[in-house]
Amino acid sequence: MREQLLAAEKVKAIAWRDGALHLLDQRLLPAEEVWLSYDSAEGVAQAIRQMVVRGAPAIGISAAYGVVLGARARIAAGGDWRAALEEDFKALADSRPTAVNLFWALNRMRERLGRVRDGETPLQALEAEAISIHESDREANLTMAQLGMELIRKHQGSPQALLTHCNTGALATGGFGTALGVIRAAYLDGLVERVYADETRPWLQGARLTAWELANEGVPVSLNADAAAAHLMKTAGITWVIVGADRITANGDVANKIGTYQLAVNAMHHGVRFMVVAPSSTIDMALESGDDIPIEERDGSELLDLGGRRVAAEVHAVNPVFDVTPADLIDAIVTEKGVVERPDAAKMAQLMCRKRLH
Ligand code: MRU
């Protein structure tokens, strides 16, 4: 499956080249494919805030490269560059609050700065760490694709319909995707007749990004309004809802794109299985439950306006962009360390003691 996925790879959204970070501008897809280049930590923080790059692992990877860019400028400026670099760490950490991959990646960069090896400069150490974060995310996705596909195969023999939410593909990660990686692998294995992609209001990650990624690869995909999901679970032969995650807490609760929680409730009601696919960098064992996760609220204009034009009445709009799905609505959490079925605190603790499977 690894070779098949590598051969089918079409989309990349993050590139580290010529000492700069290059990001495919996800605000413009699928209408335009525009790459933007960044040479400062503040620029990368702004790209994350403005959603040029989005998706939990992709945010973490970009922030890691942001630290490299920050360090380069601080070292060139001389003086106490390590103290000055703290400002860059802070700007990057303040860019978005919910996806823990961001803080995980910044912690790894900080730790690596404390472990510069003989014969390497601090800048070389940071660059090597950022590249390693990027590459190991791609590897984790290949492992999870295989594990998730095997889980689907275990429960069904013939091709079925799957439903997904938001965008968890190559655009949201270092490559291949988390939930979308599993869906790709299941399709290549002949297990998927059709994928239903929730449009994912208000930012339309499903309509603009997931539908684009799947259509590019010839995977049969139908776009549906978010509100159609329960109806489709009842009528369209959907066997699994498969989603990603922005933060998973020690008890197995999962924060993901707004609308995920109602999908899990509906899946339970209709006897549809619910799978979460996320690398261990998304697991935050420091938080006991989903109640502790900071939920990002974005500007109400994302709901009030459409294409820059006001469409709603003159009212206040509430725009939480993530929600928390309780662990007891989840059939399986798939990570690169293994699969946890019916997650709870004990199983999550056991998982985190394991090594990566690749
Ligand atoms: O606001 P976004 O687009 O960054 O939200 C992304 C999601 O919620 C994804 O489902 C999640 O990050 C997993 S991506 C592999």
pLDDT in tens, 267-323: 999 999 999 999 999 999 999 999 999 999 999 999 999 988 999 999 999 999 999
* Mean pLDDT on 20-42: 98
Looking at per-residue pLDDT, the higher value among 1 and 87 belongs to: 87
Residue 30, preceding bond cis, omega within 30 degrees?
yes
Q: Which atom of ligand 1 is closest in space to residue 165's alpha carbon?
A: 10
Kindly list the structural domains of the chain, giving each domain's residue range(s) and its CATH number in brackets, ordered by start: 2-136 (1.20.120.420), 144-352 (3.40.50.10470)
Say if pTM beats, i.e. exceeds, 0.85: yes
Is the pLDDT at 157 greater than 90, yes or no? no
CA 243 to ligand 1 center in whole angstroms:
9
Residues of each annotated binding site for substrate: 54-56, 96, 205, 256-257
CA distances from 133 to 1, 34, 126, 232 (A): 22, 24, 11, 38
Instruction: Output the pLDDT for position 158.
Output: 85
Instruction: Output the pLDDT for position 354.
Output: 86
Instruction: Output the pLDDT for position 218.
Output: 94
Q: Which atom of ligand 1 is closest in space to residue 257's alpha carbon?
A: 8
How many other β-carbons are positioned within 10 Å of the β-carbon of residue 175? Answer: 26
Q: Quick one: tokens of 157?
A: 């023999």
- Identify the band that residue 156 occupies on the pLDDT scale cut at 50, 70 and 90: confident
Q: Is the CB of 166 under 6 A from ligand 1?
A: yes
Residues of each annotated binding site: 54-56, 96, 205, 256-257
Please state, in angstroms and rounded to a whole number, the distance separating the CA atoms of residues 354 and 273. 25
Is the pLDDT at 8 greater than 70, yes or no? yes
Give the percent of the chain with pLDDT over 70: 99
Question: Residue of the nearest CA to atom 6 in ligand 1?
Answer: 55
Please state, in angstroms and rounded to a whole number, the distance separating the CA atoms of residues 170 and 66. 20
Let me know how long the chain is: 358
Is the pLDDT at 358 greater than 70, yes or no? no
Q: Which atom of ligand 1 is closest in space to residue 59's alpha carbon?
A: 4
Is the pLDDT at 357 greater than 80, yes or no? no
- Identify the band that residue 236 occupies on the pLDDT scale cut at 50, 70 and 90: very high
Q: Is the CB of 321 under 6 A from ligand 1?
A: yes
Active site residues: 246
Q: Is the CB of 61 under 6 A from ligand 1?
A: no
What's the whole-number average pLDDT of the chain?
Answer: 97
Q: Is the CB of 256 under 6 A from ligand 1?
A: yes
Q: Is the CB of 205 under 6 A from ligand 1?
A: yes
